[in-house]
């Protein structure tokens, strides 16, 4: 194991409060420079785990399916809890042949070609929400805009009725990204179970009355001639609703928070000095909403002189890799014109986020609506941080808008 220093001992990456209460930039820099394979020790009965902080090491681990597996969990909450109930059935925690076949099924409805109509609907919805908010003068951007765009999109794909969406949003927040200190792991587990039970009911309904939604498509799908079970379908709906909401929502909130504080970058966006696609990638790198993914060691290997043994947990920290000075020029600078920008916001390799195209569409439409309908904006209150050891961002962001009257007159 690596030698630890007292200055690092105060940081426990397994504790959600760590990320709400501390600025970890200096911590990550120390790890990248001095302890690239770092041991986060057991705390209060919780297992210890390895931490990879350098971009190249994270990429290597993502590519290595010989020594590492996702099938024992891919985030700390399940890895430290002893495993993931969805292992071998949910795309994110399935490897090998079944992962490949399941991914092909989901790509039928999440590829850019298939999602062209969905992307058009995202544009209409986003521009309507921003226009209404600007006309009102101000709003809580997190609650009134960012919470509605991704959840509307993924709910439409899954066939979730409009009256159920606020309930599902509340459950996804409680499951992984709450801002309340009194929500413990039991509450989060109950929220996750509530989501699973909701989709179990939906699967039963679609078996009786199929539609043109993703759930109906999954019911009609099979792998190696064997139809997907109800549990297979429910677990992947859970993954889609969590993944389809959290990453985009938190990135949007972080992007607006950052642009409000950096007028020069806003000016570049407003005046078309940076390409929207380039700006989207920088917002994703900067926000890094998914702080880590995890793997379990299945074959002994060595990294930077450290032996990683079967059964041990290895965590890959995007929050650090996306700030690695070895890869990114001036990584601590928010630069909407940054190129190249091979960030890790969507992971890498076989488990690269299947919803990445949709997330980029949502963030791009937000940036274009802000550019067209406002001359700028400012925060008018404290941005409330979520409490999580998996996701990072804000649950509340009060904003005052400055309307662009010429843009507001345009007909979309």
Range of the domain at 106: 6-144+245-408
Q: Is residue 357 part of a domain?
A: yes
What's the rounded Cα separation, in Å, for the pair 136 and 124?
A: 18
Total domains in the chain come to 1
Q: Is residue 76 part of a domain?
A: yes
Query: CATH number of the domain that 337 lies in?
Result: 1.10.630.10
Q: Is residue 351 part of a domain?
A: yes
Q: Is residue 128 part of a domain?
A: yes
| CA end-to-end span of the chain | 59
Q: Is residue 402 part of a domain?
A: yes
Burial of 142 (0-12, 13-18, 19+ CB in 10 A): buried
Give yes or no for a cis peptide into 340 (omega within 30° of 0): yes
State both tokens at 283: 């917002």
Q: Is residue 396 part of a domain?
A: yes
Q: How far is CA 258 from the centre of its chain?
A: 18
pLDDT at position 5 is 41
Q: Is residue 29 part of a domain?
A: yes
What's the rounded Cα separation, in Å, for the pair 221 and 231?
A: 13
Q: Is residue 157 part of a domain?
A: no
pLDDT per residue, tens digit, the chain (412 aa), is: 443 443 577 899 999 889 887 889 999 999 999 999 999 999 988 999 999 999 999 999 999 999 999 999 999 989 998 888 899 999 999 999 999 999 999 999 888 888 999 999 999 999 999 999 999 999 999 999 999 999 999 999 999 999 999 999 889 888 876 655 555 677 888 988 999 999 999 999 999 999 999 999 999 999 999 999 999 999 999 999 888 898 999 999 999 999 999 999 999 999 999 999 999 999 999 999 999 999 999 999 999 999 999 999 999 999 999 999 999 999 999 999 999 999 999 999 999 999 999 999 999 999 999 999 999 999 999 999 998 999 999 999 999 999 999 888 765 5
What's the rounded Cα separation, in Å, for the pair 359 and 248?
A: 5
Question: The dihedral of CA 160, 163, 165, 167: what is its sign?
Answer: negative
């Amino acid at each position: 194991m690596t030698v630890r220093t007292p200055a690092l001992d105060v940081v426990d990456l397994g504790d959600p409060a760590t990320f709400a209460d501390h600025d970890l930039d200096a911590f990550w820099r120390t790890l990248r420079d001095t302890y690239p394979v770092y041991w986060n020790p057991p705390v209060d009965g919780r297992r210890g785990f390895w931490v990879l902080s350098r971009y190249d090491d994270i990429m290597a681990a993502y590519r290595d399916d010989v020594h590492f597996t996702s099938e024992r969990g891919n985030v700390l909450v399940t890895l430290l809890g002893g495993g993931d109930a969805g292992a071998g059935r949910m795309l994110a925690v399935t490897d090998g042949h079944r992962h490949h076949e399941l991914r092909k099924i989901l790509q039928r409805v999440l590829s850019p070609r298939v999602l062209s109509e969905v992307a058009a609907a995202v544009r209409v919805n986003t521009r309507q929400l921003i226009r209404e908010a600007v006309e009102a003068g101000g709003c809580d951007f997190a609650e009134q805009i960012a919470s509605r765009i991704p959840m509307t999109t993924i709910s439409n794909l899954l066939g979730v009725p409009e009256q159920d969406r606020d309930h599902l949003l509340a459950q996804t927040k409680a499951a992984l990204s709450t801002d309340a200190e009194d929500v413990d792991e039991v509450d989060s587990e109950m929220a996750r179970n509530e989501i699973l039970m909701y989709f179990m009911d939906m699967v039963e309904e679609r078996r009786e009355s199929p539609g043109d939604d993703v759930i109906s498509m999954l019911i009609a799908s099979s792998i190696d001639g064997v139809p997907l079970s109800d549990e297979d379908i429910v677990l992947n709906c859970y993954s889609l609703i969590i993944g389809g909401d959290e990453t985009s929502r938190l990135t949007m909130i972080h992007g607006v928070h950052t642009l409000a504080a950096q007028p020069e970058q806003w000016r570049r966006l407003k005046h078309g000095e940076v390409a929207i696609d380039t700006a989207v990638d920088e917002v994703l790198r900067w926000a890094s909403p998914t702080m880590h993914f995890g793997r379990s060691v299945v074959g002994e290997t060595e990294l930077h002189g450290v032996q990683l043994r079967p059964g041990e947990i290895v965590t890959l920290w995007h929050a650090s890799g996306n700030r690695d000075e070895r890869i990114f020029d001036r990584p601590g600078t928010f630069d909407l014109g940054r190129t190249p920008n091979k960030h890790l916001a969507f992971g890498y390799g076989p488990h690269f986020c299947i919803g990445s195209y949709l997330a980029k569409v949502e963030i791009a439409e937000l940036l274009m609506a802000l550019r067209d309908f406002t001359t700028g904006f400012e925060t008018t209150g404290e941005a409330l941080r979520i409490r999580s050891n998996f996701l990072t961002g804000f649950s509340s962001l009060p904003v005052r808008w400055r309307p662009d009257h010429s843009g507001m007159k345009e007909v979309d």
